[in-house]
Amino acid sequence: MKRVLLIGGTDSSGGAGLARDIAVTNDYRHLAKPVVTCVTAQTNTAVRLIHEVPAAVITAQINAAFADTPPDAIKVGMVGTGAAGDAIADALTSRNVPIVLDPVLKSSSGRTLSDAGSLQGLIAIATLLTPNLEEAARLSNRTFANCDAELSVQAEALRKKGAKAVLIKGGHGCGDICCDHLFDTLDRHRFCLPRLTLHKRGTGCSLATAVACELASDRPLRDACRRAKNYMQNWIAGHDRNA
């Protein structure tokens, strides 16, 4: 059984955060090793309260997760504070494990969950950064756009910050086809499927965790991203991956 370290915030509604991460990990029949960065009180429409876990406690959780059976992959979601981001980066820097960073900047209801500055140390060590269109623009200090040339510029800016590869998700775009764009050291790859009109919370959490699960199973990055997108398509459409 593969093990995936899941670093992020709780969500009392069950729709996003660690609740979704663990559900995805279970779908893959992997073992989840959760580390809590923030405790949130959420409904499906609003974030009512955020309690930030002290950085020292986050570090202790990560060290404990590595102490017995180290994880095969790591997914980082909601970070919260700059101190938390620095602590996570410090704790993971020397680990020889693929890291998928979902740069959670705000909730689907618009509440700020992490500041862009708190992610700089983590971007520098990420195997894969998975921003949506809005996050890619903000993290690269560019203008929101959904055109090939601009996405290439944004991805290159993010790779210069240290990320080995960047997957810019097209879910916030428009049109009948939804394309995610993977930029790695050599090429750009597109993963395109019909856009679904169904709305579910936790899609960003789920995709990043699915990629981490695929990497834990020793999939090459390109294949991991393609398979994770297919997993997401089935989940959004309501199909059981294990059926």
Reduced to 3 states (helix: H, G, I; strand: E, B; else coil), residue 144 is coil
Mean predicted lDDT score pLDDT of the chain: 90
**Residue 242 included in any domain:** no
Encoded amino acid at 118, one letter: S
Q: Domain total for the chain?
A: 1
pLDDT in tens, 87-131: 999 999 989 999 999 998 877 666 777 777 789 999 999 999 999
Q: Are strands 99-101 and 73-76 parallel, antiparallel or unpaired?
A: parallel
**Residue 193 included in any domain:** yes
pLDDT in tens, 150-182: 889 999 999 999 999 999 998 666 567 888 999
Nearest-angstrom CA–CA distance, 89 and 7: 11
Predicted local distance difference test score (pLDDT) of residue 172: 60
Domain ranges, residue 65: 3-237
Largest CA distance in the chain: 47
**Residue 243 included in any domain:** no
Q: What burial class does residue 66 get, using C-beta atoms within 10 Å of its C-beta: 0-12 exposed, 13-18 middle, 19+ buried?
A: middle
- pLDDT of 197 over the 70 cut: yes
Q: What mean pLDDT comes out for the span 203-207?
A: 92
pLDDT in tens, 223-236: 999 999 999 999 88
Pick from 17-26, 46-55, 172-181: least confident: 172-181
CA distances from 24 to 1, 64, 101, 130, 206 (A): 15, 22, 16, 16, 6
**Which has the higher per-residue pLDDT, 196 or 164?**
164
Nearest-angstrom CA–CA distance, 219 and 215: 5
Q: What are phi and psi of 225, to 5 degrees?
A: -70, -40
**Residue 181 included in any domain:** yes
Nearest-angstrom CA–CA distance, 112 and 114: 6
Residue 75 maps to which CATH number? Answer: 3.40.1190.20
- As given in the structure block, the two tokens for residue 54 are 């002290």
- Residue 177: count other Cβ atoms within 10 Å of its Cβ: 12
